[in-house]
Amino acid sequence: MDAIPAQFHSALFPQPEVSIEELLKFSLPSQDRNATTTHPSVFFTSGASVVISTSNIQLLRTLPIPAQSTINALSDHFATSVMESTSVLYAHLPIDNPSCSVRFPTWVIAYWLHISRLRSSTILPWKRAEQWLANTLSTTGHRDLVANARSILRDLPWTGTMLSFTDREPITSFARYLSSDWLGTTHIDQQLELLRIRLFREHSIHEFEILTTYIVNFIVQAHCRHQHDYPTNQRFRHIRARGEELSVSGCQMRIGGVANVNENHWVTVVVDLRSSTILYGDSLGLSENDIVAAFSWWASFHTGRQFTRVSLPIGIQTDTVSCGLFALSALTHHFFSDSTMVGQQTVSMEQLQSFCASGYHELNAVSVAYRNPEPH
């Protein structure tokens, strides 16, 4: 597939430095919803293409592009066809549209593909986030939080990967905070990372550890399938290193994390060496499955103590998607007893606060990177 000439990028696409808010205002061509029944070969011709001028750039930015499935078929056809094609037609347009006979350069297929991906993977999630903010403001208020969220959309660059978090996820993944979707592993780990930072800043004695979801999962795996070779299996060297910290004489550490149950539910677990207890919180009040057993085994292996199960205070969830917010809130409350635990009526506020905390953390990192660019 021919590449889009670099000199046309600034005219055809939003630039990397523009904000999410500016991205959503950028005029992009619409996209057909239904795949065309026209054979891919009809889109290609051997005639000379038009010279790309300012007017033709404007035409490209306004003409509807084909459906994603059609673009994929055209890309495959262009790559495998033995025919020499020198230009591309907008053959999906109605026949009475004069633009359907304009011969464009073959790189227009790459342009269609880029626009289609931009619309589906970036524009759509942020448009849904905008609508979620509007609905939240109209139904529950939170005016200040909504204003803060919108200020982040005005300032945060729309593209690239995150600079502030350990996992360098795409910026677009932030949009999930502002939706009715449940929080994925990326978002749980971001909030755990922010909690860890807060603990280090505000606790004078750092006898705590916040585990990533990856480490929590490995402890459960070790308990369920690898107790026999846990002491020597190199896969578990990371959790062994953390476990060895517990074995230090006089250790009063508390280790907390958020665990995934059955790949569809988040719960909270804390190992408290001060009382030799495993605290467990589930916003649905379900059985702890393997989580408590795994952490009891792991803590006992490294300390030689017996641990008892204790209920961790947690809010009661009545929907099917907010478990991550409840689990994180319970963990935060355990370390900061003056923090308010989320309830079902405050879920949207908690989502907004999570987005704002992550967004401002990222903006600070972007600001530092802007002031101190890496040397070339």
Question: CB atoms < 10 A from the CB of 63, how many?
Answer: 19
Please tell me the predicted confidence (pLDDT) of residue 291: 94
305 neighbors 298 (Cβ within 8 angstroms): no
187: Cβ–Cβ under 8 A, 6 or more apart, which residues? Answer: 173, 176, 177, 324, 354, 358
Q: With a cut of 80, say whether residue 80 has pLDDT above it.
A: no
Domain boundaries for CATH 3.40.395.10 within the chain: 185-344
Q: Are 244 and 161 in contact (CB under 8 A)?
A: no
pLDDT at 1 over 70: no
Q: Does domain 185-344 have CATH number 1.10.1660.10?
A: no
Residues facing 154 on adjacent strands: none
pLDDT digits (tens, 9 = 90+) for 318-376: 999 999 999 999 999 999 999 999 999 999 999 999 999 999 999 999 887 665 665 55
- Residue with tokens 């990397």, as numbered in its chain: 16
Q: What is the CB neighbour count within 10 angstroms for residue 150?
A: 16
SS3 labels along 119-158: HHHHHHHHHHHHHHHHHHHHHHCCHHHHHHHHHHHHHCEC
- Residues 120-153 pLDDT 10s: 999 999 999 999 999 999 888 889 999 999 999 9
Gyration radius of the chain's alpha carbons: 26
Share of the chain above pLDDT 70, in %: 97
| Alpha-carbon distance values, 34 to 42, 67, 68, 118, 125 (Å) | 17, 6, 9, 18, 21
d(CA 56, CA 324): 49
